[in-house]
Structure 1
C-alpha cells in the first residue's frame, strides 16, 4: 500500500559537524528588570511536565536575510519577547514550604547560542526522518552554568554552508504546551517585523489552580500515583534498541479510514475525525504488537491509550486562548486487546472519541484536584503525541516560512508521534513509531491490514 518507509540509520548523517561560535544569555530590558521580583505559580498540569522539549525549524536560504543578519534581529526580538514572557528569563525552583515547583522570575536570562555546520541544508537529506543528530542543532544545557541554574528557554541559530539555517529551541515543558508555543512563535515573528504582538500572552497559571478543598468527582484511570513504584511514566526514555518507522498516510487513506469507521459506528455522539481514526489505528496496532500468536492470556490484557486534549474552551468560564501554560489534560480509552482485535474499526474510533468527550469542565477540575491530592502522572500502554496540526511550519517570519519544523526525537517506545508531511499532502500525516524489532514487525502488519 506504500504507507510505510524505514530508512536505515547508516544512511543518515551521524555528525552534522556543528561548531558553537558563541554562547550567551539574553536578559529582559532594564525597565522589566527594575520591576519587583516575583514567583510564578505552576498548575498541577505544569508540575508533572518538568522536562525539556526541543524543536528545530529549518529555513531555506534568503539572500535578504543571511544568518548573520537574522542573528542580530533575533537577539533584539527575543529581548522584547521575554519582557512579556517574563518566566522565560527565570529559573525553575522547588518551593520548600509548599513542596511545589514554581518559576522564580528573577531575570537570570535565556540562553542564546550561535553555531555553524559544515553541511548544506540539502546534505541533511530527509528532514522528516528522525535523525538523532538533529540534537546538535539545539542547546538545552549551557556548559558554563550549574545544573540547578539552567535557563528554562534556550535558542540556537545554526547556519549552513548554503545560506540556510536552523532555529533550535529548547523549552522546559512547564513553560508552554503545543498551542501556547505556537502562539509564542507567532508573537516572535511579529516582533521580528517590528510590529505589536499578535496575541498578548496570559501568564496567570492560577486559572488552573486546584479547588479548596480539592474534590475528585470522577475515577481517573489515566493517572497513577507517584508512590506506585511499579508504574513508569510514558515520558521516560529507554536504553533498549528500537527500530524507527514512519507510516505515511495520505489524505485519501485517512478519508477511507473515516468511511470505514462510519460504516459501523454505533453512536452519532462521537465525531469521526482524522485525529480519531489515526489514533484508533495506532492504538490497535500498538496493542496487538504485544500479542504472542494471539495467545489468550495476551488478548485478555487491558490496553490504555492516552492523548492530549486542549481544555481552554471546555472550562466554565473558558480559559483565554492566549493562556501560556499547559492547558491540556490526558484523555484515555481502554479495552481488552481481544476487543481491539475483534471489534469493528468504527467501535475503536468511537472509544477514542469518547475519551475526548469525557473531558468536561467538572472532569477537568476533578483531574486537577486529583493531582493536588496524589501528585501523580499519566500512565498507559501508549501515548499519541500529535504535532500534526499545531502549524509550526505555517508561522511567517520576515525570511519566510520554515521548510520544516519538528521535535528532536528520543527513544520512547510508548509514545507514537504524529507529524505533518513536508512539501506534500497538507492533510496527510506521518506516524512515527519506535519499537523493538519484533514488535515493529507486528505493528506494521496490523497497520497495513487495517489501512488496506
Structure 2
C-alpha cells in the first residue's frame, strides 16, 4: 500500500512577520441597519475559525496589487454579506444571540514575512507558526467591538503570499465560506457574484411549538449556558501532544472500500470507510476497556436533507453532527463492513424530521455535540479550487490547535499531488504510537 506517515519535520518557529497596516473595511454602499436572526445551529458555534490560503508568486500580481484588489473586493462583498460587517449581540428581550448589522466593518491587515515559502517546508504539516498569518483584533479594537471577519495578507520574500482569514463560525460553515471565497474572487476579477448569498437564517428556525421527536444521543444537555463554554471535542488540550500527518492514497481508500463490502456488494463511500477506519483506531488507542462505549461524531451537510432543500447560496451554518456508537470490543472484533454500516446509518439518520428535531431541541435545552472523537473533513470543501485573478491557492489549511479529540481530513494536493488524503492527528505520545500501529495494521489486514 502507499500509506505513509510524515515524520515530524523541523518546523520554522518564527515566520518573522511584520504588520504594516491595519484598517477597518466598510461596505462600499450603505446597508440596512437590522438585526440578523441566528438559528440554533449558528448560536452554538460562537468560536472563530482561522484559515490560511497560500499562493505562489505571480509576476502579474505583486502582493501590493493583490492587497489593493482584495481590499476593494471585500468592501463590495460586505454589501451583500452585510452581517459580516456587523457584531454579535445578545437580544435583551429574547435572550437570543443575533448579529447587529451595524456596518462597523471588517478588518484588513497588510503584513510581510522575512521568510520564503520554500523555507516553511511542507505546508501540509500543522505548523503552530501559521498563527502569525492570521490577525486577532483584540489589540486593535475594543473587547465589545470584535469583528466577525479579519483578513490578513502576508507577503513572503519570494513574492508568494498568504491570505489569512479569521471568521466567526456564527457567520459561516465550511460550505458557505467556500461560496464567500468564490464571490470574493469574482469581485477581485471585476466579475459578478458566482452565487448570490441567501442570508435568511429563519429557514432553520425552530418550529412553534418545538417538537423533539428523537433522543439525540450525540448531544450533551446543558440546563444553562455559561459564557464561553465549549463541548469537550472543541476544547484545546493542556496535555503534551504529538502531531502526525498520516496519508491514505487512492489505492488505500479503494482497499478500504473492498474490505467494507464484507458479505455484501453494497457500495461504501470513501468518507464512510475512512471515518470507520479512524474511529476504530482512535477508540482502541486509548487504555482498553472492552465495555467502554465510543461515540464518533462527523459533520453532515443538511442542505439537501431538508424538505424543501435550502437555497444553494444559504450563507449560514447548515451542518450538523451525525454519530455512531459502539463498545471497544465491538470495534475490535466486528467486521469492518459493520463499522462502515454504522457510520452510514449515522448519516442516513439525518432526515428532514431528525434535523428539525435537533433544531427544536436547541429551543428547549442548550447543548453541544458530545462524543470522544470528531472527524472534521476539509477534504471536499474545495477551498483549493477557488480561482482568484492571481491563480488558485497552493495550499489551504486551518491554523491547527491542540485538540486531541478532533481529527482533520485534508486533500493531499499541497504535499505531492492529488492522490488521496492527509489525516491530521494530535494525541498524547503513547496513544499516538498505538494509533499509528493500529492504523497500518487494520489497513493492511486481509
Same fold (TM over 0.5): yes
In the TM superposition, what are the counterparts of 1:231-250 in structure 2 within 5 Å? Answer: 232-250=231-249
1:179-194 paired onto structure 2 within 5 Å: 179-194=175-190
8 Å CA contact 2:231, 2:368 repeated in 1 = no
Give the conservation status (yes or no) of the 8 Å contact 2:27–2:76.
Answer: yes
Q: Is the 8 A contact 2:29 2:79 kept in 1?
A: no
Out of 357, 360, 383, the position equivalent to 2:351 is: 360
Q: Which residue of 2 aligns with 1:29?
A: 28
Post-superposition offset of 1:142: 4.4
Distance 1:449 1:174 in 2: 40
Task: Describe the SS at the equivalent of 2:232.
Answer: coil
For structure 1, list consecutive stretches of 5 or more residues without a partner in the other structure.
Answer: 293-297
Partners of 1:140 and 1:173 lie apart in 2 by: 15
Any conservation in 2 of the 1:264–1:345 contact (CA below 8 Å)? no
What is the CA–CA distance in structure 2 between the aligned matches of 1:345 and 1:147, rounded to whole Å? 50
Aligned position for 2:87:
91
> Residues 25 and 112 of structure 1 are in contact (CA less than 8 Å); yes or no, is this contact kept in structure 2?
yes
Partner of 2:198: 202
Q: 1:88·1:153 contact (CA, 8 Å) conserved in 2?
A: yes
1:88–1:232 Cα change, 3 Å: closer
- Contact 2:230/2:368 (8 A) holds in 1: no
Offset, 1:263: 2.6
**Paired position in structure 2 for 1:110:** 106
Give 1:305 shift. Answer: 0.3
Partner SS state of residue 149, structure 1: coil
Partner of 1:443: 435
Note the C-alpha offset of 1:7.
Answer: 3.4
Partner Cα distance (1:304, 1:439) in 2:
17
Counterpart contact for 2:413–2:419, Cα < 8 Å: no
Q: Report the TM-score, using the length of structure 1 for normalisation.
A: 0.95
The RMSD of aligned alpha carbons is 1.6
Q: Residue 52 of structure 1 contacts residue 140 of structure 1 at CA under 8 Å; is this kept in 2?
A: no
Aligned positions of 1:170-319 closer than 5 A:
170-227=166-223, 232-265=231-264, 268=266, 271-292=267-288, 298-319=289-310
- 1:176-221 deviation line (CA, Å, top 9, x unaligned): 0111111111111110110110100000000000000000001101
TM-score, normalised to structure 2, is: 0.96
Instruction: Structure 2: state its 5+ residue gaps.
Output: none
C-alpha distance in structure 2 between counterparts of 1:402 and 1:392, whole Å: 8
Deviation of residue 4 (structure 1)? 3.5
Question: What per-residue deviation string (whole Å, max 9, x for no partner) do you get for residues 142-167 of structure 1?
Answer: 41212221100000000000100000
The whole-number CA distance in structure 1 between the counterparts of 2:6 and 2:389 is 35
The count of residues paired between Structure 1 and Structure 2 equals: 440
- Aligned equivalent of 2:121: 125
**Within the alignment, does 1:71 sit opposite 2:81 as a pair?**
no
